[in-house]
Amino acid sequence: NFPLDLAALEAPATNG
């Protein structure tokens, strides 16, 4: 579990 995954899950930033 990398910090990148955690950040993405925390905030739907990649959810264009």
Residue-wise burial string across 1-16, b where 16 or more C-beta atoms lie within 10 A, e elsewhere: eeeeeeeeeeeeeeee
- Per-residue pLDDT at 4: 63
Confidence (pLDDT) at 11 = 62
Task: Look up tokens 């264009």; give the residue.
Answer: 16
pLDDT for the residue numbered 9: 65
For residues 3 and 16, give the distance between their C-alpha atoms in angstroms, rounded to a whole number: 20
User: Could you report the per-residue pLDDT of 1-16, keeping only the tens digit for each?
Assistant: 566 666 666 666 555 5
